[in-house]
Structure 1
Amino acid sequence: MRFSKNLQSLSIAVAAACGVAAGFAGLTYTASPVQAAAAAELKVGDAAPDFSLPASDGKTYKLSDFKGKQAVVIAWFPKAFTGGCTTECKSLAANGDKIRKFDVAYFMASVDPVDGPKGNKAFAESEKTDFPILGDEKKTAAAAYGVLNAKGMSNRWTIYIDKEGKIAAIDKAVKPATSAEDMIAKLKELKVAQK
């Protein structure tokens, strides 16, 4: 009787210890993207982290290729084929001719893979985009830009980078339905050259 009671107490103690350990392990795992994002959160005037990412058009884009040549806009979004992201994509696709009046390279970007039925290539094709959608499947660029959230997806933030490779503006309140109009207004405000 005493033996089984001690065994039961031991089992409870072991289970509790395992639960605490699992909880700490889980906390470390789920907190790490947030910690990475918080550590990397950029401010206006900071140098924009370089990246090399595959895109929906089959090319790989590097930020350093645009330095000294063109401003760059990266419209980060959480997930392809979801409501708000589709609305944002439609807005940018419908207004590409107005955005291209500026001397700017612009992209949408997420941590989705480029290929696959739910990837950014399929997303770009479904929305008939005339701009590339970057895929950051390893989440390294998203973490470097501070847009990676606790769910392991990117926040809906638009990052504006000037010709010299510095952060010119960060829009953390993107409205999907007016994202193109808002981008055009911001490009004017930042005095990005027009072609």
Structure 2
Amino acid sequence: MEATTMDRTATLKVGDTAPDFTLPDQSGNKVTLSSFRGKKNVVLVFHPLAFTSVCTVQMPGYSKEKQSFEGLDAQVLGLSVDSAPTHKAWAEHLGGIEYPLLADFWPHGEVAKKYGILRPEGYSERATFVIDKQGIIRHIEVHEIGKVPDRAKLIQILKTLR
């Protein structure tokens, strides 16, 4: 699905190797995408900004589905251009998030650029990338910015990777 508002510094498609990155999470731990290769599928969830209405509904939902994702050998990684301290405060405000919230803060939006979803306004599209255990992108979806994505659809996609 193409979105005309995207800053397309990269154009990724299903079947491409997911661009690697290392980013800090809300606890200050460094998380590297390639560290999951051979171990887990990854659901990379880009959300525009912490403390916004749709993101505040969307992101806790992945914690509610934690057992489903774990049962499918999948790790959820949330990602936005917010800083790690902002993610920490937001996770605490939400009552805890049970997966890493990654800070694509500096260089600003660098990972979102690699994935081709940095908006001209300086934040990412609301987008989901499903990456298999070999690091290959198996699903890409750019969602309407004001709508919560369907988690059940992600579960179905992950089931096809078994």
Q: TM-score, normalised by structure 1?
A: 0.73
Q: Are 2:152 and 1:184 aligned? A: no
Structure 2 residue aligned with 1:125: 92
Q: 1:68-79 maps to which residues of 2 (within 5 A)?
A: 68-79=38-49
Higher Rg? 1
Stretches (4+) displaced over 4 A:
none
Q: Are 2:72 and 1:102 aligned? A: yes
Superposed displacement of residue 97, structure 1: 1.9
**Separation in structure 2 between the aligned mates of residue 90 and residue 99 of structure 1, nearest angstrom:** 14
User: Which consecutive unaligned segments of at least 5 residues does structure 1 have?
Assistant: 1-33
Please state which structure has a larger fraction of its residues in helix.
1
In 2, are the aligned partners of 1:99 and 1:180 still within 8 Å (CA)?
Answer: no
In 2, are the aligned partners of 1:92 and 1:179 still within 8 Å (CA)?
Answer: no
Superposed displacement of residue 185, structure 1: 2.1
| 1:114-156 Cα deviation digits (max 9, x unpaired) | 11xxx11111222211111001002111100111011110100
**Separation in structure 2 between the aligned mates of residue 64 and residue 99 of structure 1, nearest angstrom:** 18
**Separation in structure 2 between the aligned mates of residue 70 and residue 98 of structure 1, nearest angstrom:** 13
The percent of aligned pairs where both chains have the same amino acid is 36
Match of 1:150 among 106, 120, 145: 120
In 1, are the aligned partners of 2:14 and 2:137 still within 8 Å (CA)?
Answer: yes
User: Which consecutive unaligned segments of at least 5 residues does structure 2 have?
Assistant: 1-5
In 1, are the aligned partners of 2:43 and 2:77 still within 8 Å (CA)?
Answer: yes
Superposed displacement of residue 91, structure 1: 1.6
Equivalent residue letter for 1:132: P
> Relative contact order: is structure 1 or structure 2 higher (C-alpha 8 Å, sep ≥ 6)?
2
In 1, are the aligned partners of 2:69 and 2:155 still within 8 Å (CA)?
Answer: yes
Q: TM-score, normalised by structure 2?
A: 0.87
In 2, are the aligned partners of 1:108 and 1:133 still within 8 Å (CA)?
Answer: yes
Distance 1:90 1:179, change over 3 A: farther
